[in-house]
Amino acid sequence: MNGQWTDWVDIDRACSTSGIFGDYGIYEIRLFAPKTNSPAPLFRLVGVDTSGLIYIGRSGFRKTGRGRTVANRFREWVAQQHSGANTYAKAVPILDKSLLADRKLQVRAMFLPDDQIEAAEATTLEEYFAVHAELPPCNSSTPRAFAEKESSE
């Protein structure tokens, strides 16, 4: 991966069509605890994810020209038109009764050429899985590139 991660920002700020997130690449969504001014630690199968990641995903591609930018994916998340957002929405009533009742969603992205996006998403998910023995809580499936990599080993 050649790109650099952006700084973390609140998801509402990242939804702007004119902001820096109006490009293509991969992205991460995390739970942030304002009270502690830090990511919310999440217990995983193996260890604790101190980064608070709940989702790793990707945009569409420039070549298709359908506007599936990173900002568009964040807008889909906020509008619950995204599979990860639907999983998160089911968890909200439980989170609201927990130590994470006061939380925010923050996002960051890495902008990449079209030919690197799928592989970068697969690598990022693979790295998470290698540490925690599972995907982030709102990811429901591994991307094709991740599955293809596993089957060739």
pLDDT for 36-50, tens place per residue?
999 999 999 999 999
Task: Report pLDDT for 145.
Answer: 57
What is the phi/psi pair of residue 130, to 5°? -60, -30
Q: Is the pTM of this model over 0.75?
A: yes
The answer, yes or no, to whether residue 146 has pLDDT greater than 80, is no
Q: Report how far residue 92's alpha carbon sits from residue 72's, in angstroms, rounded to the nearest whole number.
A: 22
> How many angstroms separate the CA atoms of 76 and 6, rounded?
20
